[in-house]
Structure 1
């Protein structure tokens, strides 16, 4: 039998090796991602492009497909903004990915949630279908980049933007419903981004709606005790149906950066207050003190108070706000769990699949310069 002191020594050695080697290994690309290294961005973009070119919407559709395509479009657009020499290659794929978001098979889950009511057949009504906020943002950005964006999809987009604007201005809370009786502030933040970039694409002002939304974020949607957005609310009376949570706040900070820099900075500050580090790895607490939970069905479960979803989503506001130390810690954790692998000029995160790679391309390339205050 191995003496106890040999086992203890082995454990200590393994712990020290993990402390120093793992943090170095997982963080070796963090600085390059933070400063916008074109080689890193292009390698992950190459994998996302390959997926988009091979994808068949008949076989990959629904909620996960919708999220994948909208984040692929946003991520590729952001790389094109940061490295204009890539525009000729990336913009057609941005358009292709964004246009897929409006295919009927991408929104079947939302149609079913709204009692088989299709979003584009109910634009004159009050049912907001806010789950399409990210899709609308992706198309706004694609239209701003691509003068040859398909006219039929642009016409659908104009109609949806008009409906979103009307519903937002009619809401006492500045929220539109994602699903019946459930408004997610991060989805409305995506709608605000879509309105702002619709202005860039078409010249039509949505300033009134954007200013109204920004005011209601500050006065109705943020929990004053924690500084976080309430994850889910009743859009008419503002009653919270979930706790304030960091994951939704981090995603909203990313979307808000397309609409209003002040709101993005406010939400970013709140999220990063819930970030902490251990051995140069970082994590974000999901709940304020006094609350707990395991997240939602679409989330990776909250573990010991740390939310893997919030940790990954916080990469975007950390980079956009210039917080290099926090970004590096969050990236190490993401790399440890996601397992990035590069071969043949393409990078993918092996543990995360196409949706994870699309999300990470968008989050790792987020920056304040792609947004600003667009409203006149």
Structure 2
């Protein structure tokens, strides 16, 4: 019996082609986002199992002896900064774990203390010491040497630790640094401290403010100057048009010398959330309105406003691809969780999985391509505490 061969008409061929295009579009639009988003809701809701698995991986990182050789920025200063910040963000994440899982609070406080001991070591002070030609802890009585790169970051962790353990072995150091920071900010005519000599970055000052506010919370002592500092910060260092934080300002006049940017704003809103949820939320909403986008279900954040997005990134922004910044996108995850934006959290999480390549093995979870600093950052961001809990 002769087979019947169906001959497609031109109309049928076009319809079949259109169907293939539609199917391809549907698959490429939804399947990758769906796959990368598996588990996002659990992370947003603070799954103990998932957070604990990530914490175990970070514990492994801080137990080994990391060095600047573990970071490949190509610049010795930046390698040392990244080593330092790995312990800062790890400690912040452990503090959040201690507050969200009180039954294991002592364990996570101990992990914080491992980080603090590293931060107090001579090795991790070298990057700051070389820039200032002096030791930060030996010049606390001087107002000419701000040492913001070391003291603001270290004191944030010390104050955060003290909110968990009032009788902290680092209480005296915390008191001395807080006193020095308050005095230096008050006496400086632009009401900020310098990260390095003649270099002032408003995002770095967010840690100084947070450390002062947390110190006041821990000791239950009012710090009247903090409100003045924050009002000045809002009026002078947040761009009135975009609502974003200026990345850098002149050390003498306080006038902006860099654009308002995504990396600095998302970075700042995370640390400010510890002491001023209202301001943090304003910064989050400004970032969402001006910089945040979604591509095929994946959340991305621009480093610069659309009018200047062609500008290249730097060590703070990480790679900037077609205007989208790696750091800004990563830090935005914390903002979304803190301020209850489940939808955008899910989108940012998908992006982190797509490019970070998550791996779960042996009761541990981590980003394969993140390295020590990348994982420390994401650990702090993904375990950030919701404003509902903070209140």
Query: Are 2:267 and 1:251 aligned?
Result: yes
SS of equivalent to 2:324:
coil
Q: From 37, 51, 55, give the equivalent of 1:27.
A: 37
Instruction: Give the direction of change, closer, same or farther, for the CA distance of 1:361–1:58 in structure 2 (3 Å limit).
Output: closer
Structure 1 distance, partners of 2:153, 2:20, is 49
Instruction: Give the direction of change, closer, same or farther, for the CA distance of 1:298–1:41 in structure 2 (3 Å limit).
Output: same
Number of the residue aligned with 2:6 = none
Query: Are 2:306 and 1:306 aligned?
Result: no
Q: Single out whichever of 94-103 and 278-287 deviates more from structure 2.
A: 94-103
Structure 2 distance, partners of 1:299, 1:269, is 19
- 1:40, CA displacement in angstroms? 1.0
Query: Are 2:235 and 1:219 aligned?
Result: yes
Q: Which has the larger radius of gyration?
A: 2
SS of equivalent to 2:330:
helix
- 1:278, CA displacement in angstroms? 1.5
Structure 1 distance, partners of 2:103, 2:91, is 17
Q: From 194, 201, 204, give the equivalent of 2:211.
A: 194
Between the two proteins, the alignment pairs up a number of residues equal to 364
Query: Are 2:77 and 1:76 aligned?
Result: no
Structure 2 distance, partners of 1:91, 1:33, is 22
CA contact (8 A) 2:303 2:317 kept: no
Structure 1 distance, partners of 2:184, 2:28, is 52
Structure 2 distance, partners of 1:92, 1:79, is 12
SS of equivalent to 1:286:
coil
Output the TM-score relative to the length of structure 2: 0.86
SS of equivalent to 1:128:
coil
Instruction: Give the direction of change, closer, same or farther, for the CA distance of 1:308–1:8 in structure 2 (3 Å limit).
Output: farther
Query: Are 2:296 and 1:279 aligned?
Result: yes
Aligned runs of 1:295-334 on 2, under 5 Å? 295-334=313-352
Q: From 119, 123, 128, give the equivalent of 2:136.
A: 119
Number of the residue aligned with 2:305 = 288
Gaps of 5+ in 1: none
Instruction: Give the direction of change, closer, same or farther, for the CA distance of 1:276–1:172 in structure 2 (3 Å limit).
Output: same
Number of the residue aligned with 2:162 = 143
Structure 2 distance, partners of 1:312, 1:7, is 39
Q: From 109, 117, 126, give the equivalent of 2:127.
A: 109
SS of equivalent to 1:241:
coil
Number of the residue aligned with 1:228 = 244
Query: Are 2:371 and 1:361 aligned?
Result: no
- 1:333, CA displacement in angstroms? 0.7
- 1:318, CA displacement in angstroms? 1.0
CA contact (8 A) 1:66 1:135 kept: no
Q: Single out whichever of 333-342 and 177-186 deviates more from structure 2.
A: 177-186
- 1:58, CA displacement in angstroms? 9.6
Instruction: Give the direction of change, closer, same or farther, for the CA distance of 1:205–1:24 in structure 2 (3 Å limit).
Output: same
SS of equivalent to 2:365:
strand
- 1:17, CA displacement in angstroms? 3.4
**Alignment RMSD, CA only?**
2.4
CA contact (8 A) 1:171 1:235 kept: no
Instruction: Give the direction of change, closer, same or farther, for the CA distance of 1:352–1:212 in structure 2 (3 Å limit).
Output: same
Number of the residue aligned with 2:51 = 41
Number of the residue aligned with 1:168 = 185
Kindly indicate whether structure 1 or structure 2 has the higher relative contact order, using CA contacts under 8 Å at least 6 residues apart. 1
Query: Are 2:282 and 1:266 aligned?
Result: yes
Gaps of 5+ in 2: 1-13, 71-78
CA contact (8 A) 2:30 2:297 kept: no
Number of the residue aligned with 2:363 = 345
Instruction: Give the direction of change, closer, same or farther, for the CA distance of 1:56–1:335 in structure 2 (3 Å limit).
Output: closer
SS of equivalent to 1:276:
strand
- 1:8, CA displacement in angstroms? 11
